[in-house]
Amino acid sequence: MSENPVFTVELGPNYSVVLRVKLQDKPELVMPMKGLEAGLLGRSLLCAGAIAYADRRPADGTKITDGHLPAQNFFIDPESVRHDPVLLFELPGGVKLAFKLSAKMAEECGEVLFMARH
């Protein structure tokens, strides 16, 4: 029976992040990086994960560094309506991204989206 990989992310000193990956019987892989690098890696991973579920996906081996995330669904966390709203976007494959907005930002976001269509 094969063991699933374990991914953990820790905060490090001076705005750094440490990614740890444990794959089956191999030694743990430890990857320290700057916070910005972690954000860029996260964005690339989210894009690649969404593209993996695309109907017309690029050829195997295509490098994915950045792109627009294709939301397939969105909703507001019902528990957040009494406070700052939390807007959730669901990506292909089922990953949900949660964005906590101030009431002012939520209103401005709605207005900008509405105006973009008119």
How do 29-34 and 73-76 pair as beta strands? unpaired
Half-sphere exposure of 36 (CA within 13 A, CB side): 0
pTM of the model: 0.78
116: left (phi over 0), alpha (psi -120 to 50) or beta: alpha
DSSP 3-state of 100: strand
Contact at 8 Å (CB) between 30 and 20? yes
Opening angle at CA 63, ends 61 and 68, nearest 5: 130
Per-residue pLDDT tens, the chain, 118 aa: give them. 457 789 999 999 999 999 999 998 899 999 999 999 999 999 999 999 999 988 888 999 999 988 889 899 999 998 887 889 999 999 999 999 999 999 899 999 999 999 998 7
